[in-house]
Structure 1
Amino acid sequence: MFANKSFDKIHKATLSFGMRRLPPLSAVRVFEAAARHENFTIAAAELGMTQAAVSYQVKLLEERLGVPLFRREKRGVVLTEAGRRAAPAVSHAFDGLDAAFGALRAEDVSLLTVSTSTTFANTWFARRLGGFQMAHPDMAVRLNTSDSLVDFAADPVDVAVRSGLGTWPGLLADLLLPVDFTPMCSPGFLARHGGALSLADLHHLPLVGAEDPWWVYWLADAGGAQLPGRRPSVRLDSQAMEGNAAIAGQGIALLTPFFWRGDLAEGRLVRPFDHVATQGQAYWLVYPEHRRTSPKIRQFRDWLLTEIAQDHADAMAQLPARC
């Protein structure tokens, strides 16, 4: 009963917007961030404030509303029932404000910022992005390459390409292509080791990224035995780097055929095995749900889905099972 009465007070305060009785927006903004993270320290870092300032703003809001929004505990803070019920509506309201004012920003119209992983950018995306730029000459395109997940609430990014299962709260996700993988190496490397390999050979030949759990999964899926633990190997940060190491003859790398079909077709890489495995993950185009109607996001989405569908069809038609 107390929680319902507490939320009613928040609701009444929200309805008072037309009478200029809305709580201070600075305090509401701090509450939204603190509620989203349920952590004052993280909220402070996001907002560029001190933790003490966040705590002070939340206290002001609680005093203004007359209800507690957080429960202070030894290990941090926890939303009260009233705070937990109010948080989604407040967050949604800020999304609406962001969309409304975003439409008025000149830079928002003329600049598209795309975040992608290092592998997706270096093996496929960067060389094709100019096609979108040529089709939309009035729009500048900025490409941010990072393997960290972008925070749409804090980072100036319009769309992102992520790998995963396609479920991220508050984001829409369009499927681009599945993530599958198979061993590849250079023709010279294969020739130096007899011209053909067995699964057992993987236990003593140099592997690129031998600590990668994909190797364990691929071997099990292909019917091979587990690799010995703690073996020396070349360790790199991305599949893009691992593929180039394999091209240079440094070992066998687990790679996604779609990204490396040009190198396979031109003889820089070969596939010693037919078997291709997947763990059900894929690359997705993601963007905030509240910005789904943004013209520049729609234009980029349509271009990317068309481009990758055509490229994927070509890859399936041209790529033999064994190169």
Structure 2
Amino acid sequence: MAQSLPPLPAIRAFEAVSRHLSFTKAGEELGMTQAAVSYQIKLLEEKLGFAVFERKPRKIELTAKGAQLAEGVVDGFERLRTAFEDVRGTHANELVINSNTTFAMNWLGSRLFEFQMQNPDLAVRIVPYGPWEKPTFDCADVTISACFPPPEGSVTLPLVKAEFTPLVAPELAASIGGIHTLEDLLKIPIIDPGDPWWLMWFAAAGMPDPDLSRWPESRMGSQALEANRALAGQGAAILTPYFCRDALQSGRLIQPFELVCEHPNESWLLSYPPQNKNSRKIRLFCDWVVAELKKDGLALPAGSDGLAA
């Protein structure tokens, strides 16, 4: 015969205190006094026969058994919250994506219709953040970022490696008789010469100190904007070829050199708070994104075959 559970109010109080490590904050969340929360914890410990918290001056800590219990209890309550949210339909049918401009314009915008056709019960809202803005990791269901790491503890899914090489409109290249050498490349305008990717690429190509000072200083801060300038024939842009696949395949842009560099510490990441790991809509979206990337034959960064817990 299964053993009976401790009183639910005591379990609920334990779950809140274990997250906040504070009787006061747990009481505020539960609408209880600190004394009432403390009483529920006392009842729980009496029922279990061991202490779940160690009381110290000005703070409390989980005991070893308390920490073991908290892991399952917090996860269980989160599953309950997710289940009730899905049943009520409150936010369960709206997926909010906070994405940087490059990924939103060069990837999501042209593909999202397919995801919506596969999941007609979900309404999708993209909230892009600008080139010099920081993503608001806590204001969306999922966040797609490049240069900004997600908060510690987030569930992360690597998407696209930060690879880069010069791309240019064929008409501009033809105007100087073609681009065959690094010296040829320096004959045409360089878009965003202050972008550190330029120096990294030239160094890898065998020219560690190229003179880019003749070109006006500018920083678009977004590959989507830089690619538009390159398409307009305004100069060579240092871009991730994957995000320009259509332009390269149609011949609107060309890649003069085979050399493609990769930034060791950057990549596009999808992330979301750990408490959302059981969300149906997030799971559907993540699975779809990975399937789309694999469909393109992209060599996904390590960790993309499954979601980190």
TM over 0.5: same fold?
yes
Does residue 1:292 correspond to 2:272, yes or no?
no
Q: Name the structure 1 match of 2:144.
A: 161
Superposition deviation, residue 115 in structure 1: 1.3
**Partner in structure 1 of residue 229 of structure 2:** 245
Of 158-167 and 142-151, deviating more is: 158-167
**Residue 146 of structure 1 aligns to which amino acid in structure 2?**
Y
**Which deviates more from structure 2 when the two are superposed, residues 177-186 or residues 230-239?**
230-239
CA contact (8 A) 2:179 2:185 kept: no
Aligned to 1:227: 210
Partners of 2:228 and 2:258 lie apart in 1 by 21
Q: Work out the CA distance in 2 between the residues paired with 1:16 and 1:236.
A: 50
Query: What SS does the aligned partner of 1:259 have?
Result: helix
Query: Which deviations, in whole Å up to 9, do the C-alpha atoms of 1:5-27 show, x marking residues without a partner?
Result: xxxxxxxxx99947x99744488
Distance, in Å, in 2 between the alignment partners of 1:303 and 1:225 is 41
State the partner residue of 2:267. Answer: 282
Cα deviation for residue 195 of structure 1 reads 1.5
CA contact (8 A) 1:207 1:234 kept: no
Distance apart, 1:234 and its partner CA: 4.6
% of aligned pairs identical? 33
Do the aligned partners of residues 16 and 113 (structure 1) sit closer, same or farther apart at CA in structure 2, a change above 3 Å counting?
Answer: closer
Residue 190 (str. 1) matches residue 173 (str. 2)? yes
Shift of 1:151: 4.0
Q: How many corresponding residue pairs?
A: 247
Consecutive unaligned residues in structure 1, runs of 5 or more: 1-13, 30-64, 70-81, 315-323
Distance 1:181 1:159 in 2: 25
Cα distance between partner residues in 2 of 1:223 and 1:15? 64
What does residue 6 of structure 1 align with? none
TM-score (norm 2): 0.68
Give the match for residue 260 of structure 1: 244
Query: Unaligned stretches of 5+ in structure 2?
Result: 1-9, 30-54, 300-309
Q: Provide closer, same or farther for how the CA distance between residues 67 and 199 of structure 1 changes in structure 2, counting only shifts above 3 A.
A: same
The whole-number CA distance in structure 1 between the counterparts of 2:212 and 2:119 is 51
Deviation at 1:228, TM superposition (A): 2.7
Taking CA–CA contacts closer than 8 Å with sequence separation of 6 or more, which of the two structures ends up with the larger relative contact order? 2
Q: For structure 1, which segment, 292-301 or 165-174, has the greater mean C-alpha deviation from structure 2 after superposition?
A: 165-174
In 1, Cα distance between equivalents of 2:107 and 2:56: 55
**Could you tell me which residue of structure 2 aligns to residue 41 of structure 1?**
none
1:109 pairs, out of 56, 69, 92, with 92
Structure 1 segments of 4+ aligned residues over 3 angstroms from their partners: 14-18, 20-29, 65-69, 92-105, 147-152, 164-168, 201-204
Give the superposition deviation at 1:171: 1.1
Aligned equivalents of 1:289 and 1:151: distance in 2?
16
Mapped contact 1:200–1:224 kept (Cα < 8 A): no
Distance 1:301 1:142 in 2: 15
Q: What is the TM-score when the length of structure 1 is the normalising length?
A: 0.65
* Deviations, residues 174-227 of structure 1 (Å, cap 9, x unaligned): 222212111011111101112224212344531111000000100011111323
Bigger drift between 99-108 and 239-248 goes to: 99-108
